[in-house]
Amino acid sequence: MKIMPYSLGALLLTLLALPAATPAVADPTPVAAHHRHSAAAISVFLTSFYGHHGPSDLDRDLRISQQLKEKQEHSPLSDVLLCAQNEPEDITIGAVTVLQTAGVGWATVTTRWKDDRTDTFTAYVRLDSRPIKLDDVICAG
């Protein structure tokens, strides 16, 4: 039997005396996947996007998903972002709900019209969109 010059205990003590080094381990998840919009961020985005009378031409060009752009192209007689044909008198954004497992957040948007009528629809934002964009709109009626 061969005798080792160092016992296991001595080796362990030597290893413990070494400065702690954190091994560089690659994270398999892309950096963008770690970013998720919060309910507060979505609320700020929707409030800014819709304003009081609806999104600007620039917002319509830069701050909506390709899916919504195509949806609008297929509905030339209606504004799919407002679920209407005209400009509302005022717009309010309701509380935002975030469902992390589905990767989406949404809020009810209420539009008020000249005749004191109100309408609602739901606006959806993907939590991982970079930059944040309106992903879809579902009209109530």
Q: Residue 35 corresponds to which tokens in the numbers above?
A: 């970013």
Cα angle 108, 52, 128 (rounded to 5 degrees) comes to 50
Residue 57, domain member (yes or no): yes
Whether 16 is covered by a domain: the verdict is: no
Q: What's the mean per-residue pLDDT of the chain?
A: 83
Write the CATH number for 102: 3.10.450.50
Please report which confidence band the pLDDT of residue 35 belongs to, taking 50, 70 and 90 as the band edges.
confident
Cα distances from 112 to residues 2, 48, 79, 98, in angstroms, run 89, 17, 15, 25
Q: How confident is the model at residue 141 (pLDDT cuts 50, 70, 90)?
A: low
DSSP 8-class letter at 100: G
Pairing between β-strand 118-126 and β-strand 90-99 as defined by DSSP bridges: unpaired
* pLDDT-based confidence at residue 4 (cuts at 50, 70, 90): very low
Average pLDDT for residues 62-73, to the nearest whole number? 96
Q: Containing domain of residue 109, as a range?
A: 36-139
Listed range (15-29, 57-71, 110-124) with the worst mean pLDDT: 15-29
What is the rounded CA–CA span in Å between residue 61 and residue 57?
Answer: 6
In a domain, 79, yes or no: yes
Residue 66 lies in a domain: yes
The reply to whether 17 falls in a domain is no
Sheet of 134-139: strands edge to edge? Answer: 90-99, 104-112, 118-126, 134-139
90 in any annotated domain: yes
Q: Is the pLDDT of residue 66 over 70?
A: yes
The pair of structure tokens assigned to 101 is 């497992």
pLDDT score of 47 more than 70? yes
Nearest to 114 by CA among 78, 81, 135, 84: 84
3 located within any domain: no
Q: What backbone phi and psi angles, to 5 degrees, belong to 116?
A: 65, 15
pLDDT of 23? 45
C-alpha to C-alpha distance for 36 and 49, rounded to whole angstroms: 19
Q: What is the reported pLDDT for 54?
A: 96
Give the pairing type, strands 90-99 and 134-139.
unpaired
**How many folded domains does the chain comprise?**
1
Q: Tell me whether residue 26 is in a domain.
A: no
